[in-house]
């Protein structure tokens, strides 16, 4: 799936992948809430994801959040890998 320009809550300079939004003006990733929950995470600066290991550590941190769903995970990994130009490995 590709990144699409958001038509909902994302700012004008943002890209959205499902429940995850990239804001170019702040260089941060934010999360949208799933109906019935509230995503209360602080925005994640792309500067915190410099290596694939940083991405794995961030995933582990986010998985501890009760509102962080499997859909958030899939969208976050896809968006972060795209923004960081990490290669995709296909089995």
pLDDT digits (tens, 9 = 90+) for 19-48: 899 999 999 998 887 776 665 668 899 999
Q: How confident is the model at residue 86 (pLDDT cuts 50, 70, 90)?
A: confident
Which pTM does this prediction carry?
0.74
CB atoms near residue 16 (< 10 Å):
22
Average pLDDT, rounded, for the chain: 79
For residue 59, what pLDDT is reported?
94
Q: How many residues does the chain have?
A: 91
Task: Give the C-alpha separation, 58 to 8, whole Å.
Answer: 26
Position 60 confidence tier, pLDDT thresholds 50, 70, 90: very high
Q: Which residues contact 91 (CB under 8 A, 6 or more apart)?
A: none
């Amino acid at each position: 799936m590709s990144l699409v320009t958001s038509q909902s809550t994302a700012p004008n300079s943002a890209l959205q992948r499902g429940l995850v939004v990239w804001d170019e003006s702040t260089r941060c990733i934010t999360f949208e809430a799933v109906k019935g929950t509230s995503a209360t995470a602080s925005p994640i600066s792309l500067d915190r994801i410099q290596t694939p290991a940083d991405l794995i550590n961030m995933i582990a941190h986010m998985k501890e959040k009760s509102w962080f769903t499997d859909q958030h995970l899939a969208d976050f990994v896809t968006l972060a890998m795209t923004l960081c130009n990490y290669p995709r490995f296909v089995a």
